[in-house]
Structure 1
Amino acid sequence: MHAKDDQSRQSWIDAFLDMSRHKPEGASMSEVRSCIIKLDDILHRNWKLGKNIILAWTPSHEGLDILIVPHHSIIDYITSPNRIEEVSFIFQIISGRKQVTPRWLKRIAAALGTEIVSVDLGFATGRWLDDETVEALIRRYSLSHGTDRAVALFDAVGFSLLSPLEQVTQLNSLAYSVNSAHAKLRDKSITIKFARSTTGDGFYIWNRTSSLQANRDLYHFMHLILADNAIAQRKATSNSVPKLRAAFHIGDHYEFYQSEGLSPTTFSYIVGDVTIELARMIERAIPGQIIMGDFDITTPHPLTGEDWHLGTREFIETAQLNLADLNGLVLSDDEISDIKVYLTGPPVKEGGFGINRYRIQDKHGRSRSVFNAKVNIYRQAKDPIFLGIQDNQLGPFQTIGIETLAG
């Protein structure tokens, strides 16, 4: 490996060295590091500055076999006519692990009309590098498709009307609220491996871990960020703290690593239905509002393991169940005693409240269903923190239809 290439990706290599759980008997960490460098150098050369992606791999005797395809070939393939079955097959490949069996690798190569490339490392990956480290390395040069991932979008209201100094101050304030909320969750032993991507006047935030619990954790992460922001707003005497509106949705996405200089970035980016829906939803949200997408996810049931369908309402109900884990967490020098999360709606004759499902239309004339969410955080000795907008205060919220569901 050229010295300049090693230097440019040194932090990258060190991150994978930390990740590697397997060190062969008698081998030093410097030898393991050399193995990671050698593999990364080969992948980097075949990646060709982003021209190609490494779609799949399988171990071989002294290295591995990889499938290299130009990045545009995937979209060319799936948009070709009369390929319905093949499209499903390719999505299965993009959505799964990059490590496949030799037989499966041959099938993928035949479907795409490309050759398998044998990489001679001079060592067996299973012995010198564990499969998870190889898998994570290859994902940096690949493309993945995921389903049912939660993403939160925070948008600073009136951001474009501010001076550049006010804008950077507000973004720093929001970034601090994100970091502060993350630290609070870690204090309660709740792990969020979060990633974020800027929108210019806010952030997309998601959990790199994908599961029902990870999605619920992200929802709680979102309202702790909003709570920290609300506390900061009360203390601010200038435009240093943004007034936020937020959206939360679960859906499909693609995950990739953009080029940064001559190498992929260390952290992934996502784009897809979930981020597109969030961007359209936030257009109609009013200042201070928390808007929820109308999603339906399939996840293994925690007790039976069978497929379990959860809509937005059921998701909120399950999120409420584990909120006791946050009791005792400190916000602005006072402990949380209780948190209530719910979707708003009008009072009903039978008592209680219904849930309103709103139909909104974006600037392109496309419509979608959403819910209005509230979060009430009660503290031991201080006033509660109320996040979101009550149903009877949604006057400026532009909708094209309302359906009231049973609570």
Structure 2
Amino acid sequence: MHADNQGHHASGRRDDLRLSLNQLLFELSQFGSSAVVAWRPSGKGLELVLLPKTRLLQMKDPIRRVFEGPRHLNDGEFKEVVNFVAVQPTEIRLDFPIGGSANGLSHDDVESVMSRYSIGFVPFRTVFLIDVVGFSKHTPEEQASYLSTLQFCLSLAEATLHRAGLPMEMGRSTTGDGYYVWNLQTGLNEDVSLCVLMTLFSLYYKSLQQEMSEKMPLPELRMALSGGSHYVFYEPSPKYVARHEYIVGDVTINVARLIGKARADQILVGDCVNRAEGPEPWTAHRYVVAANKVLDGFRNLKVFGNQVEESRFYLTGPRDEALFRNQKIKIVDKHGIEHICYNAKVNTHMKDGSTVFSGLQHSDLRGGAKPGAGPEATGAI
């Protein structure tokens, strides 16, 4: 019992110290207008590099550690960043130790506070966007109900991945009539997990839509998934509240442009390439193949009382004799910029013989997004 009290006291002290450091940073950052670029422990506290966010984001060809990785830098990296940004470090004197002492904060504790005031860059991450078709035509009560249903189905899909032990910590932000969705964790397996999350979300939503068709019809959705780079930032607060992540960059712009050309019930997948995961690039095709291998583990999954026989996520295209080939589609957004993507479907067969389909068939695309940029034959996926 004595040990429990000691542990509780130590945890409470760390919470108090994090709050104190957070309040200090909130003031030093001018209410969040400046970002923490780097920090390191000093003899009497901390040294940190603060830079106005507007100046930080206008830097040309920044060295990698300005944006990528933790803000806690070793001495060599710290000096390199200081020289690059040409800003004198700020010294913060603290009345508690930084490091391994039980009376102070660990490096991880400090990093958890500093990251709230940082702007990071992620070279590649998959993101998908859900959009409710005709959202503005519905009443405010219906709109609130629809967004709540999207949240419910997303949470179901996330919980399903958790039970399977897959890496998924869902991040999302509303667009007003839908959601951007991403994995807060980064990496190859994490990106594949996001593809699986979108597949399971569409299965849950379509199944619920069929169940609710008479009681409360649910609207059609359109979705877009792609991968790419982006910046990540947080909303500073004088209180040490739960950290909420925001992302913006090439990947969010790309899925937004794709969704703008998508039809009701269509799923578009951007022609993205991740070159950071080994010698062979990870294309949209490879992500789909990897997602389907994971989906094999969800046979017998119960969805509102019915069991899954098989669920498949695939890219569509015309049929050539006995094979289908995935066809690239070129769309031109409102700014005249071309985007290359694929039409996709999610087909699920249930054990009772029923089916749940999401997305449009390739034959449905006539008169819509214009096939172009050269079809690429890859065989059936």
TM-score of the superposition, structure 2-length normalised? 0.90
Residue 307 of structure 1: CA displacement?
A: 3.7
Task: Report the CA distance shift for 1:230/1:25 in structure 2 as closer, same or farther (over 3 A).
Answer: closer
Residue 133 of structure 1: CA displacement?
A: 2.6
In structure 1, what is the Cα distance between the partners aligned to 2:314 and 2:366?
A: 19
SS in 1 for 2:374: strand
SS in 2 for 1:337: strand
What per-residue deviation string (whole Å, max 9, x for no partner) do you get for residues 50-102 of structure 1?
22111111122342211011111113432xxxxxxxx141x442022211112
Residues 169 and 241 in structure 1, CA contact (< 8 A), matched pair in contact too: no
SS in 1 for 2:310: strand
Residue of structure 1 equivalent to 2:361: 390
SS in 2 for 1:155: strand
Counterparts of residues 118-129 of structure 1 (less than 5 Å): 118-127=91-100, 128-129=104-105
Counterparts of residues 3-402 of structure 1 (less than 5 Å): 28-78=10-60, 87-89=61-63, 91-127=64-100, 128-234=104-210, 235-237=212-214, 241-259=218-236, 266-300=243-277, 306-349=278-321, 351-399=322-370, 401=372
SS in 2 for 1:247: strand
**Identity of matched residues, %:** 28
In structure 1, what is the Cα distance between the partners aligned to 2:198 and 2:70?
A: 29
Task: Report the CA distance shift for 1:313/1:135 in structure 2 as closer, same or farther (over 3 A).
Answer: same
Residues 142 and 256 in structure 1, CA contact (< 8 A), matched pair in contact too: yes
Residue of structure 2 equivalent to 1:405: 376
In structure 1, what is the Cα distance between the partners aligned to 2:196 and 2:120?
A: 26
Residue 136 of structure 1: CA displacement?
A: 2.2
Residue 239 of structure 1: CA displacement?
A: 6.1
What per-residue deviation string (whole Å, max 9, x for no partner) do you get for residues 96-144 of structure 1?
2211112322222222221111122233321233322322221101100
In structure 2, what is the Cα distance between the partners aligned to 1:292 and 1:206?
A: 15
In structure 1, what is the Cα distance between the partners aligned to 2:279 and 2:40?
A: 30
SS in 1 for 2:368: coil
364-373 vs 389-398, which moves further? 389-398
Residues 259 and 265 in structure 1, CA contact (< 8 A), matched pair in contact too: no
In structure 2, what is the Cα distance between the partners aligned to 1:391 and 1:77?
A: 44
In structure 2, what is the Cα distance between the partners aligned to 1:236 and 1:212?
A: 38
Residue 265 of structure 1: CA displacement?
A: 6.9
In structure 2, what is the Cα distance between the partners aligned to 1:97 and 1:186?
A: 26
Residues 26 and 237 in structure 2, CA contact (< 8 A), matched pair in contact too: no
SS in 2 for 1:270: strand
Mind listing any 5+ residue stretches in structure 1 that lack a counterpart? 1-23, 79-86, 301-305
Residue 48 of structure 1: CA displacement?
A: 1.6
SS in 1 for 2:29: helix
Task: Report the CA distance shift for 1:74/1:267 in structure 2 as closer, same or farther (over 3 A).
Answer: same
Residue 339 of structure 1: CA displacement?
A: 1.8
Residues paired across the two proteins, number: 369
SS in 1 for 2:275: strand
SS in 1 for 2:290: helix
Q: Give the letter aligned to residue 237 of structure 1.
A: E
Residue of structure 2 equivalent to 1:8: none
Task: Report the CA distance shift for 1:224/1:26 in structure 2 as closer, same or farther (over 3 A).
Answer: closer
In structure 2, what is the Cα distance between the partners aligned to 1:354 and 1:276?
A: 28
TM-score of the superposition, structure 1-length normalised? 0.85
What's the Cα RMSD here? 2.2
Mind listing any 5+ residue stretches in structure 2 that lack a counterpart? 1-5
Task: Report the CA distance shift for 1:187/1:111 in structure 2 as closer, same or farther (over 3 A).
Answer: closer
Task: Report the CA distance shift for 1:268/1:401 in structure 2 as closer, same or farther (over 3 A).
Answer: same
In structure 1, what is the Cα distance between the partners aligned to 2:40 and 2:370?
A: 51
In structure 1, what is the Cα distance between the partners aligned to 2:58 and 2:124?
A: 25
Residue 402 of structure 1: CA displacement?
A: 5.3
Task: Report the CA distance shift for 1:160/1:68 in structure 2 as closer, same or farther (over 3 A).
Answer: same
